[in-house]
Amino acid sequence: MSFFVRTVALAASRRSLLSQNNVIPVRASHVSDTSLSLSALKNFVSEATARGSTTTSTDARFYSSIRDVRRLPVFSSSTDRALFNASEFGNNRSSGRRGGEIWSLSVRSQSRSNSVPFAEEIPALSQQVGTRSEHSAALVEEERENEAIMDEFVEVGHRLANAAGTIIMNYFRSRFQIIDKEDSSPVTIADRAAEEAMCSILAERFPTHAIFGEEGGLKMPKGGSDYCWVLDPIDGTKSFITGKPVFGTLIALVYKGVPVFGIIDQPVLGERWVGIQGQVSMLNGDAIQTRASCDLIKNAYLYTTSPHMFSGESELAFSRVRNKVKVPLYGCDCYAYGLLAAGHVDLVIERGLKPYDYLALVPIVEGAGGVMTNWNGEPLRWWPELGEVNIEVLAAGNETLHKAALSALAWS
């Protein structure tokens, strides 16, 4: 089951957008109120083939694949997409748009030669699409199913955080053994017990899902899985063992490489951030937003866990940003990203992060209006076969500030 959201937008720059998408105008009269007009579609395809170029329109619609809520089906061909857009166009017309208004039907064809088989396929595909009302009903039902699935994921995510938090609180500011791992990072009995508790819940509820934990590594079911839960029981173990409550439990659900759900849980302070791709992020049930008003780097508050995480070229890159911001700050680990999502700081820049250090943070930052990428501006994706690859991460409260920070980093 794939996760998508339908984003509907009126194009501000119509000519550039339409030229990218091969948009051909279709008038409202070309499609009936109750079903697709096959003859009209055939005529429109013939006209497009003869014309051999894209025509501008007074209105355009486009979609982007993001998550499961309000999403489109996956199209196997340009024909499927065109038929769906035509039926959607009929929906919009019946909802109060003027009958004579020009709408655009997006035909994402690879070349002009695709227009001929496209016209021939219309009768067969129209039977699959069915009437506008049947197709809409199918989409609504599929949307409900996906919302129910995500609700189940979120419910389990809260169970994981509760289980880990109970264990962590039993050990916080108490005496326990500290073990140094091979990379010299510390681990405690609290880390391992909290992760084991979360893995036990996941094995019971989602036995076909993969699990990747900081302490236990990868557990992949036979046959593989498109879903992978990525767990860091205590992100900020050094803060935990020194009694500073700015660590957190990180829980991420990754679907086909994309982090679609994330939790930051700080059990000592009783704070829990929840991010679901395509939805507004929440802090203890309240919607949050980044400090979008800060778009100048000279006014920004910057966090990083430690200046010692940078060396060589990365240290030079970080210093270029640090020297431009208003206030550089240190510490907090994952908690800094929660502060950014809640609108208290503006930038977080770090390097050497592993999948369990950052995947849960992505939907939280993005759902609050922020931007989170690597130092090259690329979206953060991860697949289990990549393992514990280290990356550089940049999070910003808005796109303008993100671009400014990327420019200052000048990373390549």
What is the torsional sign of CA 193, 198, 202, 205?
positive
How many CB atoms sit inside 10 A of residue 161's CB?
23
- Kindly give, in sequence order, each residue whose CB lies less than 8 Å from that of residue 79, ignoring residues fewer than 6 positions away: 117, 118, 121, 122, 125
CA–CA dist 51, 49 (Å, integer): 5
**Burial classification of residue 159, based on how many CB atoms lie within 10 Å of its CB (0-12 exposed, 13-18 middle, 19 or more buried):** middle
Q: Which long-range contacts (CB under 8 A, 24 or more apart) does 257-260 make?
A: 257/381, 257/382, 257/383, 258/3, 258/381, 259/230, 259/359, 259/360, 259/362, 259/363, 259/380, 259/382, 260/3, 260/67, 260/68, 260/150, 260/363
- For the chain, which domains are there? 14-130 (no CATH), 144-247 (3.30.540.10)
The answer to whether the CB of 214 falls within 8 A of the CB of 191 is yes
| pLDDT (tens place) for every residue of the chain, 412 residues total | 444 333 333 333 333 333 344 333 333 333 333 333 444 444 544 554 454 434 333 333 232 333 333 333 444 444 444 444 444 434 443 333 333 332 333 333 333 334 444 445 445 545 555 566 676 777 777 777 788 899 999 999 999 999 999 999 999 999 888 887 776 678 889 999 999 999 999 999 999 999 999 999 999 999 999 999 999 999 999 999 999 999 999 999 999 999 999 999 999 999 999 999 999 999 999 999 999 889 999 999 999 999 999 999 999 999 999 999 999 999 999 999 999 999 999 999 999 999 999 999 999 999 999 999 999 999 999 999 999 899 999 999 999 999 999 999 999 7
How many CB atoms sit inside 10 A of residue 150's CB?
22
How many CB atoms sit inside 10 A of residue 8's CB?
11
Local structure of 373: helix, strand or coil:
strand
Residue ranges of alpha helices (H) inside 78-188 are 78-94, 115-129, 132-171
CA–CA dist 26, 3 (Å, integer): 30
The answer to whether the CB of 281 falls within 8 A of the CB of 274 is yes
Residue 210: beta bridge partners?
Answer: 228
Is the full-model pTM beyond 0.85?
A: no
The answer to whether the CB of 188 falls within 8 A of the CB of 179 is yes
CA–CA dist 296, 21 (Å, integer): 34
